[in-house]
Amino acid sequence: MGNFMQYFFQDFGRAARALWDMISDGLMFLYYFLNLGSVSDIIRAHSGDFGVWDWVLVIVVNLLRLAVIIVVIVLLAKLCKRIFRFRAPVKEYDALVKQVKDLQKEYYNTPGMYYLADKAAKEAKKAAK
């Protein structure tokens, strides 16, 4: 039993370390990707060597970075909206079914423009038979 426990903790620890490394690497990626202060420091350090095309590429790369950030935010917002959307309890659906039936009865029993149109269509069907 002691050998199995040693194996289990060693294997489980390796898997847990791998999972932790994935999570921490993802967070470090976000930190470096969103850390615009360090980007501006890098640009300042190399700005003396930039030509016109280099500045154009710097602007394009930063616009792409901004576009990726916006797309990620929009996708996260849609995901949160889908996860946390309002769901009505089943009891409310039953009440709505009753309300719809009542409204349908009112519609057919109420004299008015729609009722008269339906009545004329029904009478035309009867006459055709």
Q: Say how many C-beta atoms besides its own lie within 10 A of residue 24's C-beta.
A: 10
Q: What is the pLDDT of residue 100?
A: 83
Q: What is the pLDDT of residue 129?
A: 76
Q: What is the pLDDT of residue 90?
A: 65
Between CA 48 and CA 124 the distance in angstroms is 88
Q: pLDDT higher for 50 or 87?
A: 50
Question: pTM to 2 decimals?
Answer: 0.48
Geometric angle at alpha carbon 121, from 115 and 125, rounded to 5°: 140
Residue 38 has pLDDT above 70, yes or no: yes
